[in-house]
Amino acid sequence: MLPVWPHYCFPALSGFGIPYSPPMTISIKEDLLLAQPLEWSATGYHIIRKFQVTGLSEYSPTQRPIMAVTATDSTTNFVIPAIGAQHPDQPNAVVRNIKAQCQGYDCFDVVCEYQWDAYPTNYLKSFNAGLVQVLRHYDADNNLATVTYTPAGGTAQTEVADLHRLILNATISFHFLQTADPESLTLSYAGLVNSVTWRNYPPRTWLCLPITGSTQDGVWYRNTYCFAYNPETWDQYAVFKNVDGSIPPDIAGTIVTDGSATSGNGWSRFIVFGQTDFNTAFPLIT
C-alpha cells in the first residue's frame, strides 16, 4: 500500500526535504471603465490600459511588482503587454511605459501607457442623433392636414389638424488639435447658422454651438466644434390665428416651410439667427 502524502509535499522530492507547492493561479482582468482612456497632448495621442493582477502571493514582496508587469493569466494565457507592444485596436499606438501599483497583499494594478505620435490629417468626428416630437399641420407628403365636420342640417366646417410628427434632432462634433483659441472662436461664431450650402446641407440648417477646448501649455488646444441640425431650418414662422387659436385653412395651405418663400397671406418667415459662410469660417471641416 502506497503511503498517503500530504497535499503540500511531492513524493519524489520528499526524501530531499524539499516542500512542494501547487502552481500559482495568476488572474489578469482589464479595467474597461476607465474615466479617461484617451488623452491628447502636443506630442500625440496617449492611450491608457489598466489591468488587475492577482495570484502573486508566493513571490517575495520585492519580486511581486516585477512579476506583475510580466504576468501571464493562468486560464486565458493573456500576457501583460510589454514595452513596444501594439495596441489591439490601434496598431499605430505602442506601449512606452508600464507601471505597477500595489493594491494589496496579493493584488497589483498594472498600467500600460501607449503613445501614438501620428495625428489624423484633418479631424476626428462624432455624431449624436435622436428624434424629437413636434406639432405640424402637414402629413409625411407635405399635404395640409384638415378635418371637416358637417352637422345635421348645417354648414360644413373645416379645421386644420395638429399632427404629432418626429423630426431629426442631431448634433455633430469635430475634434482638432490646433493653436486656435476656443474663446475667440466661440465669440466669433457661436449662435450663427450657415448662410450658404455647407457639407451639402441647405442654408440655415446648421447652428454653431459654443466651441470648447483645453490646453496644458497655452499653445496647443484640444478644440471641439459642435453644430446642431434642424432639417426645417432654424428660421421661425409667425402665423395668423383665430380667437380660438385655430389657423384658417386658407392660410395654413399656403405656408411654405422649405425656405423658398418669406411670407404669404397670413404668415411670415423670420431669420432669427445671424449667418455666416461656414465654408470660409471652418475651412478644415468638409
Each residue's pLDDT tens digit, 21-30: 556 789 999 9
Q: Which three cell numbers stand for residue 203?
A: 442654408
238 vs 197, which has greater pLDDT? 197
How many Å apart are CA 33 and CA 190, to the nearest integer?
33
18 vs 123, which has greater pLDDT? 123
Q: 3-state DSSP: the chain helix, strand, coil percent, rounded to 5?
A: 10, 40, 50
160 vs 98, which has greater pLDDT? 98
165 vs 171, which has greater pLDDT? 171
- When pLDDT is cut at 50, 70 and 90, the band that residue 149 belongs to is confident
How many Å apart are CA 240 and CA 123, to the nearest integer?
46
Among left, alpha and beta (phi > 0; psi -120 to 50; other), residue 218 is left
- When pLDDT is cut at 50, 70 and 90, the band that residue 210 belongs to is very high
Look at residue 7 and tell me whether its pLDDT is greater than 50: no
- The reported pLDDT for the residue numbered 92 is 79
Q: Which three cell numbers stand for residue 279?
A: 465654408
Q: What is the pTM of this model?
A: 0.52
How many Å apart are CA 189 and CA 282, to the nearest integer?
10
80-107: average pLDDT: 90
- When pLDDT is cut at 50, 70 and 90, the band that residue 54 belongs to is very high
